[in-house]
Amino acid sequence: METLLTKKLDNILIIGIGNNTRQDDGLGWNFLDALEKEGFNSDNLLYKYQLMVEDAEVIANYKTIIFVDAYKTSLENNFSFEKLKPALKFEFSTHSVPPSQLLCLCRDIYQKTPNTFVLKIQGYEWDYQLKLTKKATKNLEKSFKKFISLCSEDS
């Protein structure tokens, strides 16, 4: 990652995507909860059920965007942190816009392309329950530890 994180999250927006009433779909939100508990600036933590077209205007106001979301498919180390570029990916509904498509909209409408990353955390169960599964909780802890290690010393 090119930008060192500080707890103030200057010019950085972290977006947790998911639904904490659907078991491991709550990974994105749980990650934000953990950041807030750790003292990160909660003003720059955004909880979203899904991304929508108008979020292009929101992300245009930041230099760096980090999306955090649960991932259904198996991941090496059970999480991954990847750079994201604008890309056209179409869904049948505009009520659920993929992050790469949101970057396209941001670029096309506002002529801005924030430095963007996606943190994928592997989940396993998606039923109507409030708690993460044990395996997903472990993955959350691992990914959180790695994320914190990216913070600068003086934060």
* Tokens describing residue 75: 């991941």
Asked whether position 88 contacts other proteins by CB under 8 A, the answer is yes
Matching residue, tokens 């078991």: 23
In this structure, are strands 12-17 and 64-71 parallel, antiparallel, or unpaired?
parallel
Asked whether position 104 contacts other proteins by CB under 8 A, the answer is yes
Integer Cα distance of 117 and 64 in angstroms: 8
Q: Which is nearer to other proteins, 60 or 148 (CB)?
A: 60
Asked whether position 27 contacts other proteins by CB under 8 A, the answer is no
Q: Which is nearer to other proteins, 10 or 127 (CB)?
A: 127
Q: Which of 73, 74, 93, 149 forms a contact with other proteins (CB under 8 A)? A: 93
Instruction: Please tell me what DSSP assigns to residue 4.
Output: P
Q: Which is nearer to other proteins, 25 or 147 (CB)?
A: 25
Residues in the chain, overall count: 155
**Could you tell me the smallest distance in angstroms from the CB atom of residue 10 to other proteins?**
20
* 93 phi, psi to nearest 5 deg: -120, 140
Q: Which of 115, 124, 126, 137 forms a contact with other proteins (CB under 8 A)? A: 126
SS3 at position 136: helix
**Could you tell me the smallest distance in angstroms from the CB atom of residue 95 to other proteins?**
6
C-alpha distances in Å from residue 66, one per residue of 62, 92, 124, 131: 10, 24, 22, 24
The residues binding other proteins (CB under 8 A) are: 19, 22, 49-50, 53-54, 56-57, 88, 90, 92-95, 101, 104-105, 108-110, 126
